[in-house]
Amino acid sequence: MPSPHRQPASAPRRPWRSFACAALLLLAPACRGLGKYTWVDDYQEKPPPVDAAYRIAAGDLLNIRVWNQESLTTQARVREDGRISLLFLDDVEAAGHTPAMLSQQIQTRLKDYINHPVVTVALEMARPIKVTMVGEVNRIGPLEIEPGASVLEALAGAGGFTEYAHKDRIFVMRQEEGAELERIRFRYDDLIHAEGRAPAFRLRPGDVVVVE
């Protein structure tokens, strides 16, 4: 007669064992080291391309001035379809143009209504850029930040660290065009104490910030 305290052979595995196995699999890469990276003080950013004129995009706020025509001077937000609406002209394609190209386009179209129009277009406020937050931060996933934002500002936007974060294991994953993926390492102390090149580092669209 089987003992009443013996568990049958067909009993299901305990959930904690499955969880432990999964945790070991996740921790295995960490046990092999931190992988290849470059400290931010040693990171060499590529110079911008020669033709680096700003290209207007959806979400940008533009300041449009028509000389001696106050009624046509306005601010316009570029819509998701890439266009802006102006008096007389209705929809004008803006996305993908430089401010100088857009001003020329508006001038040409206004000639049907005004003699010798002179138009200037300036970027009043650039659209936010998007980065992705991963790892031991309180809000992971896509994050919108202002152009020129620092790593410290991105960390604040993600709600700071979790209790498991290693504050000397902050990485920015960046893919430069035509180059290998870069993994750039930061220390939190350098960021908050303004030491080295870390505080001056600026995030770019598409960067991934990882906190281990």
Domains plus CATH for the chain? Answer: 60-125 (3.30.1950.10), 128-211 (3.10.560.10)
Distances (CA, A) of 86 to 59, 69, 93, 158: 16, 13, 11, 38
- What per-residue confidence (pLDDT) applies to 19? 36
Phi, psi of 68 (to 5 degrees): 65, 20
pTM to 2 decimals? 0.69
**Phi/psi at 132 (5° precision):** -120, 130
Looking at residue 17, its pLDDT comes to 39
| Terminal C-alpha separation, the chain | 54
CA distance 104 to 111: 11
Closest CA to 91 of 72, 75, 78: 78
Write out the chain's pLDDT in tens, 212 residues. Answer: 444 444 444 444 444 334 334 433 444 444 446 789 999 999 988 776 665 688 999 999 999 999 999 888 999 999 999 999 998 888 999 999 999 999 999 999 999 888 899 999 999 998 999 999 999 999 999 999 998 999 999 999 999 999 999 999 999 999 987 788 999 999 999 999 999 999 999 999 999 999 99
Beta-bridge mates of residue 171: 185, 210
- 199-205 long-range Cβ contacts below 8 angstroms, 24+ apart: 199/150, 199/152, 200/150, 201/40, 201/43, 201/150, 201/151, 201/172, 202/148, 202/149, 202/150, 203/129, 203/131, 203/145, 203/149, 203/150, 203/151, 203/154, 203/172, 204/129, 204/174, 205/129, 205/130, 205/131
pLDDT at position 2: 47
Contact indicator for 154, 139 with CB cutoff of 8 Å: no
Give the C-alpha separation, 118 to 110, whole Å: 9
Token pair for residue 155? 């960390």
Q: Give the CA distances from residue 193 to residues 84, 188, 199, in Å, rounded to whole numbers and listed in that order.
A: 43, 9, 8
